[in-house]
Every structure is written in C-alpha cells, then in structure tokens.
Amino acid sequence: MDRLTTQTLQGMSLNALKDHYKKVYDDFQKTSSRDSRTMSYLLTVDSYIQLKQQEETN
C-alpha cells in the first residue's frame, strides 16, 4: 500500500473508516472474483479501525 493511502486512512475518523470498510466490503462481495489485494486492503482498514477504537477508549 502506498504512503498516500496510509496517510488518508490515518486521517479518517472512526465512523468514516467504518463506512469506508463497509462500502469496500459490499463491493468486494458483489464481485465474482475474490481479489487478494482487496482482501488485504480490508484487513488493513480493519486494523486502523481497531487502532482508532483503542485510542478513543484510552
């Protein structure tokens, strides 16, 4: 993943990250091919969501 994507994800709020994850996931489910790049991207977004949730609880 490139630096711009990483910076963009870091700058997003928790709700924005969740909405983004849902949109990408829904699109991913609609495609017949299971793209491994999309799957790893979803895992990355999920890790940012978990990170933001930990930050907000601390």
Report the pLDDT value the prediction gives residue 45, as an integer from 0 to 100.
Answer: 96
Report the pLDDT value the prediction gives residue 53, as an integer from 0 to 100.
Answer: 93
Report the pLDDT value the prediction gives residue 1, as an integer from 0 to 100.
Answer: 67
Q: Which tops the pLDDT comparison, 2 or 32? A: 2
What's the first-to-final CA gap in the chain, in angstroms? 28
What pTM, to 2 d.p., does this model score? 0.80
- The whole-angstrom separation of Cα 4 and Cα 57 is 27
In tens, the pLDDT along 4-58 reads 888 899 999 999 999 999 999 999 888 877 788 899 999 999 999 999 999 888 7
